[in-house]
């Protein structure tokens, strides 16, 4: 993968990722040389940002909920962020004459930049990045080919490794929100990477649970959950040589799939070339199944759970959790009284039934 660094006019970092020149290779460039990309032409990466934006001066705040022992981020500056602009004003499309965007180049394969409206900001407060999967505004992740999907995954792995080295970062979280029902503010195909200064409540709980289980049994709970699902078979959606996807036994969402590697690894940078290649194909397969569940494309969240930077890495297992908020063609799953008020999920669809529907999709 060819990696080219540059900066936007307000000083934020912008990184272009282009299809691998050699298998498994990441080449970091700070110069302006171009290369012949998968589109069959020379992709220059030296376009300057002409917008003259002022430097970002936002700062988020962390506040501790003492009763729950959880951190809450206050980011009031995000109230003014761009919200569902028309396609001809999308800030994630390539720049065009008279219409500069967050990406100065007239074309790109995968582009990553620091968020202009970050939920996490300020010294030691973390970092938020936007990952543009494709220059095609009308595309979705499921429309990508395996080579493009693998470039996206390589970019996520690279961002995970680099952001984990920043001072104060405890966890790197890669995710994609899709659909207005989820609350997206930009419809262009993109994801995000958060470098968090604390462990999220869910990660901390999993670390604690897996550690207790290992002390009591000597076994790894992530491995047991995966192996039990594969042995049962009824909740398996798709299985490959290196990865398997299944509906969890206690699924919270109507259609929820977890994708696990057969070899336990802590994070995306730890994957081998063959593991990454099969992951690209199976991830696209799952997203296609979600899109075929209903007449309209399903809104979803695709969330990579990676090991914390410093805590519990030896027992943690990389896995993807993919779920939709749609429970029927004309019905959404809302987090209402019990879910939002008490954190007690109630699922309307049995996991075995959901798995069967996804296998047939």
Helix 351-360, helix 273-292: angle, nearest 10: 100
Token reading at 338: 């019990």
Token reading at 298: 């399903």
Region of 159 on the Ramachandran plot (φ > 0 left; ψ -120 to 50 alpha; else beta): alpha
A 10 A CB-CB count for 278 gives: 20
User: Tokens 């390539």 — which residue?
Assistant: 94
- E runs forming strands in the chain: 2-7, 13-18, 27-29, 61-65, 70-74, 110-114, 127-132, 171-178, 190-196, 236-239, 243-246, 255-261, 300-305, 319-324, 326-328, 331-332
Rounded to whole angstroms, the Cα distance separating 285 from 290 reads 9
Rounded to whole angstroms, the Cα distance separating 232 from 175 reads 29
Task: Please choose, from the candidates 80, 76, 150, the residue with its C-alpha nearest in 3D space to the C-alpha of residue 119.
Answer: 76
* Active-site pick, 188, 190, 258, 283: 190
Token reading at 123: 């010294």
Tell me the three state secondary structure of residue 204. Answer: helix
CB within 8 Å of 327: residues ≥ 6 apart: 254, 255, 333, 348, 349
Rounded to whole angstroms, the Cα distance separating 343 from 101 reads 40
Q: Does residue 190 have an active-site annotation?
A: yes
CB-CB contact of 319 with 194 (8 Å): no
For every residue of 87-132, DSSP letters joined together read: GGG-TTSBPBTTB--SB-SS--SEEEEE-SS-SS-STTS-EEEEEE
> Distance between terminal CA atoms of the chain?
33
Return the active site residues. Answer: 190
């Amino acid at each position: 993968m060819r990696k080219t660094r540059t900066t936007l006019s307000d000083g934020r970092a912008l990184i272009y990722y282009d299809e691998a020149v050699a298998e498994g290779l990441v080449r970091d460039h700070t110069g302006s040389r171009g290369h012949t990309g998968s589109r069959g032409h020379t992709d220059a990466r030296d376009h300057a940002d002409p917008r003259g934006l002022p430097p970002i001066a936002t700062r988020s705040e962390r506040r501790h909920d003492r009763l729950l022992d959880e951190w809450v981020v206050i980011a009031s500056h995000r109230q003014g962020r761009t919200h569902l602009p028309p396609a001809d004003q999308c800030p994630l499309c390539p720049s065009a004459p008279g219409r500069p965007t967050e990406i100065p180049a007239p074309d790109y394969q995968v582009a990553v930049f620091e968020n202009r409206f970050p939920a996490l900001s300020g010294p030691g407060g973390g970092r938020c990045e936007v990952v543009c999967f494709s220059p095609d505004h009308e595309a979705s992740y499921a429309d990508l080919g395996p080579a493009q999907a693998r470039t996206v995954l390589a970019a996520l792995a690279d961002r995970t490794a680099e952001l984990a080295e920043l001072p104060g970062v405890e966890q790197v979280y890669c995710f994609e929100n899709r659909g207005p029902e989820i609350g997206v503010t930009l419809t262009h195909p993109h994801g995000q990477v958060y470098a968090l200064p604390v462990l999220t409540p869910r990660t901390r709980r999993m670390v604690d649970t897996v550690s207790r289980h290992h002390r009591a049994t000597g076994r790894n709970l992530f491995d047991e959950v995966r192996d039990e699902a594969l042995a049962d078979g009824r909740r398996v959606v798709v299985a490959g040589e290196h990865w398997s996807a299944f509906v969890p036994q206690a699924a919270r969402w109507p259609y929820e799939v977890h994708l696990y590697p057969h070899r336990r690894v802590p994070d995306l940078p730890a994957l081998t070339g063959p593991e990454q290649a099969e992951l690209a194909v199976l991830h696209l397969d799952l997203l296609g199944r979600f899109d075929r569940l209903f007449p309209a494309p399903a809104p979803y969240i695709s969330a990579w759970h990676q090991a914390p930077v410093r805590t519990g890495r030896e027992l943690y297992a990389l896995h993807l959790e993919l779920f939709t908020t749609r429970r029927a063609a004309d019905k959404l799953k809302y987090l209402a009284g019990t879910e939002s008020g008490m954190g007690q999920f109630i699922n309307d669809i049995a996991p075995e039934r959901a798995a069967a529907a996804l296998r047939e999709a």
